[in-house]
Amino acid sequence: MKTRVKLVRDVLRKGQSGMTLIEIMVVIAIIGIVMSAVGYGVMNYLAQAKVDAARVSLEKIGSVLEMYYAKHDEYPSSLDELTKSASKKGKGALKKADLKDPWKKKWIYSVDGDGFKLCSSGPDKKESTEDDLCLGEDEDVE
């Protein structure tokens, strides 16, 4: 009987009872690589979401500008006029927060005769570059 117990004890001692430091480091490295790939994908998704939000905001502000034009037969001289109400108790068509694009920059707004141009400087936050998003004067949201 003692030989059988001794035999089982020897087998248990020879077996591995835990993970080595190298194995733990490999697992942590794999987790880090996976998290990097996921983080990269999420950041690209968030960047595209800001562009989509800017397009939606351009369309919204463009609609408000057209309604203003229909009512007053001219476009407002600045977007700030769209945040003010005709009555003291009423709210304007836009909120102050709507006057900035998703990158926290003011919309670029200009009026030329019977038309307007509304632009966002885009992700690079620089005017007149390829990533600008514009609406108005025969331009659709790009």
Q: What are phi and psi of 26, to 5 degrees?
A: -65, -45
Q: Where are the domains of the chain?
A: 20-136
- Mean pLDDT throughout 55-78? 90
Q: Which pairing describes strands 133-136 and 115-120: parallel, antiparallel, or unpaired?
A: antiparallel
Rounded to the nearest integer, the mean pLDDT of the chain is 83
Which H helix or E strand runs over 66? helix 21-72
Residue 13 reports pLDDT greater than 70: no
Q: Does domain 20-136 have CATH number 3.40.1350.10?
A: no
Q: How confident is the model at residue 113 (pLDDT cuts 50, 70, 90)?
A: confident
Residue 92 reports pLDDT greater than 70: yes
